Amino acid sequence: MRPDVGSDAIRPLANHEFEQIRRLAHSSFGLDLKPGKEELVAARLGRLVRKGGFRSFHDYYQHIVDDRSGDALASMIDALTTNHTAFVREPDHFEFLRREVLPKLANQNLVEIWSAACSTGEEVWTIASVMNDVLGPRRGQVVASDISTRALRFAEAGIYPGDRCAGLPAAWLTRYFEPADRLGSAYRVSAAMRGQATFRRINLVGPYAWSRQFPAIFCRNVMIYFDSPTQESVVRRLSEWLEPGGYLFVGHAESLTRIHHSLEYVQPAVYRKPVERKSRWNRSS
């Protein structure tokens, strides 16, 4: 780390520096920083520039490019990405999962669902709770991924302030959570349910692979940050890892009508991969 030269020595973000960061963000993880985001970038990255003792945003950018470990890029991603989420966010999706998807999988010994942009984990534990309600304990598994290492650590710990748990059904708080302190000001996902989730860092615009396909994939409220070509590429890759007849859930602000894809529209923000002749979905649909 360079010696701290003081915040007064840091030069304001110049147009060419914003362009450097914009291109790096787009090429490395698909983030579309449009003109007008200069103040946001300066505010969110300014702390890292100061902490690293860099004299300019260009010096900071060069440090990221030169860092072969990838740690500097990961820190930039954490700073620029928004990890806003909530338990039971967009509840229609979880009702559809409960009513339409999971009953058709009830004969399987293990059902795996991928939460592809899990953020701080509220989506993961909501999916797991619904799976336990419908399938019973230990028959559901959530594989969760995100590009943010910081968000993944938070999600895996499974500890949430009480106000973030306010919207949870009372039965879930009793069954799937436990007090994290004596004051009851925070809750932790139960050890049993934490064992039903695994976490992995995945960049959706980079190379990744799974050993199997999934009957359902949640990838919500992340594609709004991508441009159309990147959205199309991401949806195409997600579709490859979706079982024939399986469902893709996207955010309600993320209609796929403006991009090319092979999925069938089911209802707002829910799409289905066409069913093959020998798919199990044919027998239960």
Which residues are the active-site residues? 44, 146
Residue with tokens 């895996």: 156
Long-range pairs for 272-275 at CB < 8 Å and ≥24 separation?
272/245, 272/246, 272/247, 272/248, 273/239, 273/242, 273/243, 273/244, 273/245, 273/246, 273/247, 273/248, 274/244, 274/245, 275/244, 275/245
Closest CA to 3 of 50, 65, 43, 60: 50
* Six-digit token string for 248: 């893709």
Tell me how far apart the alpha carbons of residues 19 and 35 are, in angstroms, rounded to a whole number.
9
